Structure 1
Amino acid sequence: MSGAALLALSACVVAPAPDLSPRPEPRAEAPAPSAESQAFARYYRSVEARLVSDGLLRTDGGQTDAPFSAATLAANFERIALYDEYTLSGGRFVQQQTPSRLRRWEQPVRIEAHFGRSVDAAQQAEDRSVLSTYASRLARVTGHPISTVTSGGNFHVLYLDRDDQRSVGELVRRLVPGVGPETIAEIEALPRSTFCSVYAFSESGSRPVYVAAIAIIRDEHPSLLRRSCVHEEVAQGLGLPNDSPAARPSIFNDDEEFALLTPHDELLLRILYDRRLSPGLQPAQARPLVRTIAEELLGGPS
């Protein structure tokens, strides 16, 4: 993935259900950011400015210039929901498009924010507000219970700078007991080219139903990239793990044209949580149902 790309890394890792009992998170006085973290911040500011000047990171939703048909919507759903972008190989997550199964949450999604030492009180308040507004939107779109909580979460959004990222493993193990060492290593070593990421977890031996997720949002990001990462990673962690170069207007496309969840993406989420679909469906099994639902959403075949 190029340095200017928003990498939406979504890995379904088998792990035991998390222990969700609340525990206090001690906060120490924030140290000065390292030279590397400061360099990351400068880099991401320049990337955001360049993308915006190039007409990318749009926030308008694309309704006026990016029409799509029911057939296109169904095809985009299949590629985004029923294929994986990454696979675990040799203890590492490697980019490889592979057919998968439909995955989503069955229990209520409780989104909890966690902040590294670099995130000041004003920024924390803004981040919580963005998450709360977005959770309400996702709940309305999917018809699934999705909300923000201050403790006892099962979808954890971690706002970290480079310095806290290197030692976040202990927190991740506490939030998701049984998480594999490869996931810890991946999170702690995310390179600068990985703008943000999400990892969703299912219980061992069960249907492909998510029970926990962790999203990583870099604190070095300026405002628009920060919100863009939240929109993409939280939505992907609900069961849309892949990207497609054909998807437009969509945040599930590595071209960075759109920064925030679009009306097209809302329809993908509506399809994902339609009760006619069930976790475990493979692409060929889901295809006729998805096409029917897409046609209903868009008012008929097209």
Structure 2
Amino acid sequence: MRLSCLALVLSALAACAPPAQVSKNGPADETGVGFGSLSLSPFPVAAGGSSPLARDFIELTFAMESGRQLQVFTRFEGPVSVALTGQVPPTAPADLAALIGRLRSEAGIDISPASGPATITVEFARRADLRRLAPQAACFVVPNVASLAEYRRKRGSEAVDWALVTRRERVAVFIPSDTSPQEVRDCLHEELAQALGPLNDLYRLPDSVFNDDNFHSVLTGFDMQILRLTYSPLIRSGMGRDEVALRLFGVPGLVPAGPPRDWTQAIETALGGKGAPRTRLAAAERALAIALRSGWQDSRTAFSHFAVGRLAAGSDPARALEAFRQAAAIYARLPGGDVHLAHIDMQLAAMALAGGRADYAIRLADRAIAQVRTQQNPALLATLMLIKAEALERRGDAAAAAVLRLDTQPFARYGFGSETMVRARTRDIAAVADRAEKG
């Protein structure tokens, strides 16, 4: 299950409604070629061991988010076509075209818009209709169906069990039509990536959408590398783990490990949006204790600190600040860490606003805005701009605040959706600042 990291401090401080959770797997285990210059020899690995990429690829490919192991490798064999059906949002065709272009050029996949029957069908339907089929998922992917109606008929049968698939022939992606343009785009990236390739997510991956921390909105360079390996001519559907590892990396016997289940459960409890704040904070502290005891030096420990910081922000600012500092120190060392640091700056800027420190909130927002403008995350960018605008207002510069809010509109409409949602986000941020004045 993917957990949204946007507006987390705003939720904690202003009691705004939590954002919708996005799961890249559907209910239970139904998850939600030309190769350019790719070498036809196995990927080089260190003598007597395996490369980190080999471990990541095998663990992503031969397991599911639930922990269930997959016995055979599967992919589409031959050209892939994608069709949009249902209540297609106006921004979806352009976003899909851009994604297909990236998949062709960066991952080397023979994929194109469908001119007839499609191998991947993306159907848009009302969120309420999708929630009845997958209560915890905002968007999801299912094998061996081409429509929501067909999925309803086959739901619960072996036909839609990913663990029984030996070769991908047809896949359907289901995305809510009544959501923001950014969520539509993000679902297209995440679900098409899983329709084409890995069905698993790994919290330890810092620079990937194959990670339930949800910091990255669109497919990264690492993700494209994973998908390029998935469609390597060296492997084919039906192969087992050892054969795939041997052909791609020259090292057999790579066994997926995954994080301890108790850590994953603690994180899901902490950021799942249910339960009392004290219970969720205790779960985050438990996840952090497990990460520290395990000696992890990767994004799992950083994310554990982040979770503690975001949940402690409303009740224990000093604890939250220390947690964010620890998270930032780790993320600064990891590839792709700029996006994580920008999220932390957003949290800190909201805390500064709540504490009546408008100038500091502006400095933090400015630092993060400079990073986020290159990260294709309009919702995060709009949130930062609105925080800065509110800080300018509280500092007495109403004219500059008004200009900035106007500049925010294109990003906010794409990131949040309707004008009603934009106004609600603006009110949430104002409520954060109001706490400082009432305090």
TM-score (norm 1): 0.59
> Equivalent of 2:78, from 83, 101, 107?
107
Sort the Cα spacing of 1:252 and 1:2 in 2 relative to 1 into closer, same or farther, 3 A: closer
Q: Are positions 1:147 and 2:106 aligned together?
A: no
AA aligned opposite 1:102? F
Q: How many Å apart are 1:222 and its aligned residue? A: 1.6
Question: Given that residues 84 and 122 in structure 2 are in contact (C-alpha distance below 8 angstroms), is that contact kept between their aligned partners in structure 1?
Answer: yes
Determine whether 1:6 maps to 2:57.
no
Q: 1:79 aligns with which of 59, 65, 79?
A: 59
- TM-aligned CA deviation for residue 285 of structure 1: 2.4
Equivalent pair of 2:235/2:247 in contact (CA under 8 Å):
yes
Q: Could you tell me which residue of structure 2 aligns to residue 56 of structure 1?
A: none
- 2:213 maps to 255
Q: Secondary structure at the residue paired with 2:57?
A: helix
1:200 equivalent in structure 2: 143
CA distance in 1, matches of 2:183, 2:173: 14
- Paired AA for residue 140 in structure 1: S
1:221 Cα offset (Å): 2.5
SS in 2 for 1:104: coil
Rounded to whole Å, the distance in 2 between the matches of 1:262 and 1:292 is: 25
Equivalent residue pairs, number = 200
Calculate the aligned-residue CA RMSD, in Å.
2.9
Decide whether the 8 Å contact of 2:2 with 2:24 is kept in 1. Answer: no
Structure 1 residue 133: Cα displacement:
1.8
Does residue 130 of the first structure (1) align with residue 91 of the second (2)?
no
In terms of fraction of residues, the more helix-rich structure is 2
* Structure 1 residue ranges without an equivalent (≥5): 14-68, 86-94, 167-186, 294-302
Whether 1:97 aligns to 2:113 is no
> Post-superposition shift, 1:242?
1.1
- Written as runs of structure 1 = structure 2, the 5 A alignment for 1:257-296 is 257-291=215-249
Aligned runs of 1:207-226 on 2, under 5 Å?
208-226=166-184
Q: Is the 8 A contact 1:12 1:201 kept in 2?
A: no
Where do 1:235-246 residues align within 5 Å? 235-246=193-204
Deviation at 1:2, TM superposition (A): 6.8
Q: Indicate how the Cα distance of structure 1 residues 150 and 162 shifts in structure 2: closer, same or farther if over 3 A, else same.
A: farther
Q: Greater relative contact order: 1 or 2 (C-alpha under 8 angstroms, separation 6 or more)?
A: 1
The percentage of aligned residue pairs carrying the same residue is 23
Determine which structure has the larger strand proportion and give its number. Answer: 1
User: In structure 2, how many angstroms separate the alpha carbons of the residues matched to 1:237 and 1:114?
Assistant: 16
Cα distance in 2 between the residues matched to 1:3 and 1:141: 27
Structure 2: gaps (5+ residues): 5-20, 32-45, 146-157, 252-439
What is the match of residue 133 of structure 2?
189
> What SS does the aligned partner of 1:83 have?
coil
Q: Does the CA contact (< 8 Å) of 1:76 and 1:246 recur in 2?
A: no
Residue 269 of structure 2 aligns with which residue? none
TM-score normalized by structure 2?
A: 0.41
1:274 maps to a residue whose letter is S
